[in-house]
């Protein structure tokens, strides 16, 4: 029996046991947004890792505990897995077909909050580690490191400092991030990068209190002032007007442009999913694919004045807006914040208050790295379909906190299946077959990792 056959046989024979462990983990609430069950879940994650032969550290001081597990291997090479044990709030509860923290398997699908994001993914990786260990006679071919944090769903505010403070403990040669899997047509792939983010709130106050709109000819309206502030930020073609905003934008490489050309056309899928008739600036085809390298300034929501039923003839005294800027390599969110302040001041908006709420740096790995190529070969063997390399995705994550300081490539591989997992929504789920295949894929990566250097 080949090593690959031994891995697959182990996973098939032990699948039910790992599903039961996943169910136990999903049954433990861990809602970081309101601090529900966090310590208990951190303890459970640590116990699970210890049960699978890992030396563990439960590290405090960075928000909810970070649980680190390490297992030595024959090689000094080490592969890091990043996961998180916190989950999104389950509300609205009435939209769940079964209670969110009472996991159920129905027709080959596991339903629970955290089933996909991110407890099921964590357990699939542990299953992969055990399968590889068994195939190698009880010893891993390389070191394995798990970092399982409890603050991802609230923006991972302490993770960058955690990494900086524990560089020796976290020393590794590559990482597999959370997320990943197959798309809506069951094609495997990996994102090579994430955009960064700067999330802020702008606030304007023109009066000490709301006033009668009969005085609108003499009293300044905060809502109108905010509208003018927003109009100064970008033009009708989505070009951001903050001076120096694009100074550090890194050009798209020829390799990444070629990868975009190879990606399947998802335009019709997007139209059907979101009911959109036309995309920003009329983008279509190839131009639509590579537009993810365009930084954005997005309005999340505006709060001002009266918004109830009927009329209330007032002049709003206050107005605020929540914004996020998605930034690309090599932009710096702290630099963008300074340039935004300078822009507002230069435009006469010195009274506008800026409150920073969150930021993350962009991060990107090269498509030609041996880890990326190993993941591609392994995926094509498991899924029997070509591997898609996605140069950059629109969202943000704390990948930057690991990739830069540790100097490592980062890929993803997981249990996802398009958008069907209902991540962050009621009836979050994973298909059992995707759990199984993710473990098979990750096991193959782990099995070959030491040999790619």
**What is the C-alpha radius of gyration for the chain, rounded to an integer number of angstroms?**
24
Which residues are CB-contacts of 436 (< 8 A; sequence separation ≥ 6)?
11, 12, 15
Among 132-141, 293-302, 389-398, the range scoring the smallest mean pLDDT is: 389-398
Contacts of 303 (CB under 8 A, 6+ apart): 319, 320, 321
**Considering the entire predicted model, what is its pTM?**
0.88
- Give me the domains of the chain, ranges plus CATH numbers: 3-194+363-452 (3.40.630.10), 196-249+295-360 (3.30.70.360)
pLDDT of 415 higher than 90: yes
Can you list the alpha helix ranges (DSSP code H) found in 308-348?
A: 333-346
pLDDT of residue 453 exceeding 90, the answer is no
Average pLDDT value for residue range 154-180: 95
Q: If you ran DSSP here, which 8-state letter would residue 221 be given?
A: P
- The residue-averaged pLDDT of 394-417 equals 94
Whether the per-residue pLDDT at 18 is higher than 90: the answer is: yes
In 3D space, the residue among 23, 59, 48, 79 whose CA is nearest the CA of residue 150 turns out to be: 59
- φ, ψ for residue 23 (rounded to 5)? -60, -45
What is the distance between the alpha carbons of residues 38 and 257, in angstroms, rounded to a whole number? 43
Both tokens of 197, joined, read 């983010």
List, in sequence order, the alpha helices (H) in 173-279: 222-231, 254-262, 267-274
What is the number of helices (H) and of strands (E) in the chain?
12, 21
176 confidence band (pLDDT: 50, 70, 90):
very high
Phi, psi of 143 (to 5 degrees): -70, 150
Determine the pLDDT at residue 358.
84
Kind and range of the H or E run holding 104: strand 104-106
Question: How is residue 240 annotated by DSSP?
Answer: B
The predicted structure's pLDDT at residue 166: 98
- Checking if the pLDDT of 419 tops 90, the result is no
Q: 23: which residues sit within 8 A by CB, 6+ positions away? A: 103, 105, 110, 112
Residue 1, pLDDT above cutoff 90: no
pLDDT tier at 407 (50, 70, 90 boundaries)?
very high
Residue 317: asked if its preceding bond is cis (omega within 30°), the reply is no
Q: Kindly report, residue by residue over 122-159, the tens digit of the pLDDT.
A: 999 999 999 999 999 999 999 999 999 999 999 899 99
**Unique residue bearing structure tokens 């990444």:** 256
315-367 pLDDT, tens digit each: 999 999 999 999 999 999 999 999 999 999 999 999 999 999 889 999 999 99
Place 102 in a pLDDT band, splitting at 50, 70 and 90.
very high
- Quick count: other Cβ atoms within 10 Å of Cβ 47? 12
User: Closest Cα partner for 434 from 11, 10, 1?
Assistant: 11
Mean pLDDT of the 175-203 span: 94
Contacts of 71 (CB under 8 A, 6+ apart): 53, 54, 55, 129, 140, 143, 144
The pLDDT value given to residue 357: 86
pLDDT at residue 273 greater than cutoff 90: no
What's the CA gap between 130 and 185, in Å, rounded?
29
How many other CB atoms are found less than 10 A from the CB of residue 430? 32
**CB atoms < 10 A from the CB of 189, how many?**
24
Cβ neighbours for 418, distance < 8 A, ≥ 6 positions apart: 182, 183, 184
CB 86 within 8 A of CB 31: yes
């Amino acid at each position: 029996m080949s090593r690959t056959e031994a891995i697959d046989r182990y996973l098939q024979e032990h699948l039910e046991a790992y599903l039961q462990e996943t169910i136990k983990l999903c049954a433990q609430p861990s809602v970081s947004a309101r601090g529900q069950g966090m310590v208990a879940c951190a303890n459970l994650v640590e116990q699970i890792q210890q049960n699978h032969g890992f030396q563990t550290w439960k590290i405090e001081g960075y928000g909810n505990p970070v649980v680190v597990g390490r297992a030595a291997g024959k090689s000094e090479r080490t592969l890091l897995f990043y996961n998180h044990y916190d989950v999104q709030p389950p509300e609205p509860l009435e939209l769940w077909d079964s209670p969110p923290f009472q996991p159920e398997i129905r027709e080959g699908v596991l339903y629970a909050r955290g089933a996909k994001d991110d407890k099921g993914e964590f357990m699939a990786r542990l299953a992969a580690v055990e399968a590889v260990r068994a195939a190698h006679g009880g010893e891993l071919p390389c070191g394995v490191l798990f970092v399982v944090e409890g603050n991802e769903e609230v923006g991972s505010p302490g993770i960058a400092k955690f990494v900086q403070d524990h560089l020796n403990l976290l020393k590794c040669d590559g990482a597999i991030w959370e997320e990943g899997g197959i798309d809506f047509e069951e094609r495997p792939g990996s994102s090579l990068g994430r955009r960064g983010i700067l999330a802020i709130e702008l606030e304007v106050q023109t009066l000490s209190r709301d006033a009668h709109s009969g005085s609108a000819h003499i009293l300044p309206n905060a809502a109108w002032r905010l509208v003018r502030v927003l109009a100064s930020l970008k033009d009708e073609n989505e070009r951001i007007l903050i001076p120096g905003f694009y100074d550090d934008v890194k050009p798209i490489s020829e390799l990444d442009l070629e990868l975009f050309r190879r990606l399947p056309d998802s335009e019709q899928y997007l139209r059907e999913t979101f009911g959109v008739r036309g995309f920003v600036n009329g983008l279509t085809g190839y131009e639509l694919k590579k537009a993810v390298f365009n930084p954005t300034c997005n309005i999340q929501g505006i709060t001002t004045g009266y918004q109830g039923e009927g009329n209330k003839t007032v002049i709003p005294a206050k107005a605020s807006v929540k914004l996020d800027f998605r930034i690309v390599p090599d932009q710096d969110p702290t630099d963008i914040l300074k340039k935004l302040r300078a822009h507002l001041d230069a435009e006469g908006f010195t009274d506008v208050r800026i409150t920073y709420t969150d930021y993350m740096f962009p991060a990107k790995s090269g498509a030609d790295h041996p880890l990326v190529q190993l993941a591609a070969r392994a995926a094509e063997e498991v899924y029997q379909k070509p591997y898609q390399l996605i140069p950059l995705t629109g969202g943000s994550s704390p990948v930057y906190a690991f990739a830069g300081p540790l100097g490592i490539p980062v890929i993803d591989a997981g249990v996802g299946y398009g958008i069907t997992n209902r991540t962050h929504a009621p009836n979050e789920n994973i298909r059992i077959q995707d759990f199984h295949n993710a473990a098979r894929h990750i096991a193959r990566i782990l099995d070959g990792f030491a040999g790619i250097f």
